[in-house]
Amino acid sequence: MRMPTMRTLAIVGALSLVMALPTTANAQENSANDDERHSIEDVKERAAEAIERRLATLDRLTEKASTSPHLTDEHETALLGDYRVASNGLEQLGDDIAQAQTAEELRSLVPLIAKDYRVYLVIVPKSAEVGASDRVRSAVERLSAVATTLHEAADRAEAAGFDVTETRRWLISAADEIAEANRTGVPVADLVIDLDAGDWEEPAKSTLEDGKRRLENARVDLRQAHGSLEKAREALRDAIDR
């Protein structure tokens, strides 16, 4: 029996290598396909989580708006409509993402979670500002009623012969501060309530920043007005007790 020559062994080895090439290529292709499938599923999972977070936020905003004692009926209706539209849109987008089969589809769909709804950049801050603005309106009405009561009491005391000069001085200060809060804070709700995702970045960003500044100033004015009314009450008490 003849032993295989070195040349024969080389030929056999080459043939073996050639025959193994398709198997290796298939294995690599299958591995790449598995990696792509895993990547797609990972993207879908993260997208679903992002949508769920936004839906939960919209649910909280809906509950808050529905139970707020300060929101006007008009503002409540507008906000609830915004939340409903955004929730429905996000749910449909979630279904579209879940049904996507390719990375290309996901690349076009996933960015819409933020771009088409702007839950955190527009809806949340504008909701906060609408609520704060309507609280300013309620405070203006409440403090104005207190000021009217004190004015009437001062009129009666003055008619009875008491010196109410100090009381009236504090009431004038309170009136100016209440008027300023009404001028700066109350209009904010109507300035921001129509903002939507398409308004980002401008005019939404600058409008919301302006609204925030106006509300901060209004809160300062309301605190000062409250203090002035307390001073007016004390001055009236002192005038009568003399």
Over the stretch 94-120, which tens digit does the pLDDT of each residue have?
999 999 999 999 999 999 999 999 999
Residues 102 and 211 in one domain: no
> Residue 57: inside a domain, yes or no?
yes
Residues 178 and 136 in one domain: yes
Comparing CA positions, the residue from 242, 222, 237 lying closest to residue 150 is 237
pLDDT for residue 34 is more than 60: no
> Residue 239: inside a domain, yes or no?
yes
Please count the helices (runs of H) and the strands (runs of E) in the chain.
Answer: 8, 0
Residues 130 and 238 in one domain: yes
Its domain, for residue 177, covers: 119-242
Note whether 207 and 192 are within 8 A (CB). yes
Q: Which two structure tokens, joined as six digits, stand for 14?
A: 């080459």
> Residue 62: inside a domain, yes or no?
yes
Residues 97 and 172 in one domain: no
> Residue 8: inside a domain, yes or no?
no
Peptide bond into 29 cis (omega under 30): no
* Residue range 16-33, pLDDT digits in tens: 444 445 555 454 555 545
Query: Is the pTM higher than 0.85?
Result: no
Residues 211 and 231 in one domain: yes
Note whether 189 and 134 are within 8 A (CB). yes
Residues 111 and 123 in one domain: no
> Residue 14: inside a domain, yes or no?
no
Residues 82 and 124 in one domain: no
pLDDT number for residue 242: 76
Burial category of 31 from C-beta neighbours within 10 Å (exposed 0-12, middle 13-18, buried 19 and up): exposed
Residues 125 and 236 in one domain: yes
